[in-house]
Structure 1
Amino acid sequence: MTSGAALALLPFAVAIGIWVAWNDMKFMKIPNKAVIALLLVWLVPGLLTVPLAGLTMESWLWGWALAAIVLAIGFVASTVRLVGAGDAKFAAAMAPFFVGSDPRMVFALYAACLIGAVVTHRGAKYIPALRTRTADWASWTNIDFPMGLALSGTLIFHLLLTIKDAI
């Protein structure tokens, strides 16, 4: 993906990513509507940016194949309770945005976002002013971690890094 395509897709990814992260922290759920919205971004703006991205129609279609593969892996992982179902579905919806990316870079970025999200989230719950304003968030007391926070960060930072690399 080129910087032009990443720039065109970034506003959608940021809006949906914030929605997912907030919803996951507040309710410990990733709405199916958010997953569908992200898939629609790949469907319409994603298709329109294929020429900007220097991609072929085949690459755009591979994005859909990648989504299906990640969904299948996520389904198995969710079935054995390694990840939540919403996390698996959102990861599948994110997958097309990484078509053509180096998997090592993607996993390293995800690891960094996961560490950053855990440290930030777990530390933030001890800030009284923040905790008071968000006292109803399920993630403060839930043993599970709101992975939507790390997944959203991974998607957004991937697009930002793609833009930065072109500058």
Structure 2
Amino acid sequence: MDISSLSALILAIPAIPLSLYTCWSDLRGMRIPNGTVLMLAGAFVLLGPFVLPFDIYLWRLLQLAVVLVLGILFNAAGVMGAGDAKFIAAAAPYIALGDLRFLAALFTATVLAAFVTHRLAKHTPLRRLAPEWESWTRRRDFPMGLALGGTLSLYLLLGIAFGG
């Protein structure tokens, strides 16, 4: 296993469960808890220096800061929710800058799959599995945390499998 796959594996250990919790929390209550986002960012801060060269680690931390500022601006403009903006910022250091084109394609596919799956479940008997979920009872919004958490999880799993 090379360093990229090993890095993805080590970073995935905390990131995937936190991402899946983000999916569940956004489906259930249409919110992404601050604690989850802080743990996701904190896991990178703590593990990053051990699995990445230090210069790359510092660049990835800069990505977090830049994406957080952009997320705050997008949230203020009404483009995205605050939880989505915070999750994207916390996930940013897990992504290699050179993978942005691939990430955009992965995110697009994940959003489409998540949206279709969510809407199908909402309008079928599957809804009875969790009838109280806010994402299909009281709100028309789509729980973007489902797609965001799914994208980060898939990205890390692909990094483990095919890291270069």
For the superposition of Structure 1 and Structure 2, which TM-score range results when normalised by the shorter chain? Answer: over 0.9
**Is 1:14 aligned to residue 16 of structure 2?**
yes
Moved more, 16-25 or 99-108: 99-108
Instruction: Give how far 1:34 is off.
Output: 0.4
CA deviations over 1:35-85 (Å, ceiling 9, x no partner): 0000111011222222xxxxx211101111101111111111111111000
Instruction: Give how far 1:101 is off.
Output: 3.2
**Is 1:98 aligned to residue 95 of structure 2?**
yes
**Is 1:121 aligned to residue 123 of structure 2?**
no
The separation in 2 between residues aligned to 1:29 and 1:18, in whole angstroms, is 13
Give the letter aligned to residue 132 of structure 1: R
The separation in 1 between residues aligned to 2:72 and 2:163, in whole angstroms, is 35
Question: 1:27 aligned to 18, 29, 32, which one?
Answer: 29
Secondary structure of the residue aligned to 1:158 is helix
CA deviations over 1:73-103 (Å, ceiling 9, x no partner): 1111111111000000000000000034321
**Is 1:60 aligned to residue 62 of structure 2?**
no
Identical columns (%): 40
The separation in 1 between residues aligned to 2:18 and 2:48, in whole angstroms, is 15
- Any unmatched runs of 5+ in structure 1? 51-55
The separation in 2 between residues aligned to 1:8 and 1:73, in whole angstroms, is 28
**Is 1:109 aligned to residue 106 of structure 2?**
yes
Structure 1 contact 66–99 (Cα < 8 Å) conserved: no
The separation in 1 between residues aligned to 2:97 and 2:77, in whole angstroms, is 29
Question: 2:131 aligned to 130, 135, 143, which one?
Answer: 135
Instruction: Give how far 1:160 is off.
Output: 1.1
Q: For the aligned residues, what is the CA RMSD?
A: 1.5
Give the letter aligned to residue 149 of structure 2: S
**Is 1:77 aligned to residue 79 of structure 2?**
no
Runs of 4+ deviating beyond 4 Å: none
Instruction: Give how far 1:126 is off.
Output: 2.4
TM-score of the superposed pair, with normalisation by structure 2? 0.92
Aligned residues: 161
